[in-house]
Structure 1
């Protein structure tokens, strides 16, 4: 799962175009949405699209999204549990 977490850090910085943030700045257990990174609901929508496209995993309601996007760790765990096949 560590590889998936590192991959997600890079993708989050890239797709959200976070200024002054590097993948190393994203902590696995830190609050993802509304936390220090400044990720908001529009950013979450972009991440949902990326997750569906890259991993084939749907996050299709707000309650599920709130749980999944709590931290990077919860996001990675959800993807690992629901992806049919993770790229190496």
Structure 2
């Protein structure tokens, strides 16, 4: 359904179009972290998780890592040297999940 809507002439810049996994992760993060002031349609693949983006902190990131472990079947480790890149944005997190998921 998301694909069809995107292909029916919606004129949105490529950077803001999310693939299904990005949209799923964004919705799950907003729901699980009770980000009531964040509208799902305001989130893009480029939305940063920290700072001016979703404004998450290290505890929120731990909760996301736990959710990913349960839902996608792999562990995000705190000692991974790539964590800054992995958790940079919705898109980078989704790309990492897509490459490592077992479910």
TM-score, length of structure 2 as denominator length: 0.74
**Matched residue, 1:79:** 97
- Structure 2 residue runs of 5 or longer lacking an equivalent are 1-17
Matched, 1:65 2:83: yes
Instruction: Structure 1: give runs of 5+ residues left out of the alignment.
Output: none
Structure with greater helix share of residues? 1
Deviations 1:6-64 (A, max 9, x none): 11111010111012212212121122122332111110010000000000121102533
- Choose 1 or 2 for highest CA Rg: 2
The equivalent residue for 1:52 is 69
- TM-score normalised according to structure 1 size: 0.85
Are 1:29 and 2:46 matched, yes or no?
A: yes
Could you say if the C-alpha distance between residues 77 and 84 of structure 1 is closer, same or farther in structure 2, counting changes exceeding 3 Å?
A: same
Bigger RCO of structures 1 and 2 (CA < 8 A, at least 6 apart): 1
Q: After the TM superposition, which of the residue ranges 38-47 and 18-27 deviates more from structure 2? A: 18-27
Moved over 3 A (4+): none
Number of residue-to-residue matches in the alignment: 85
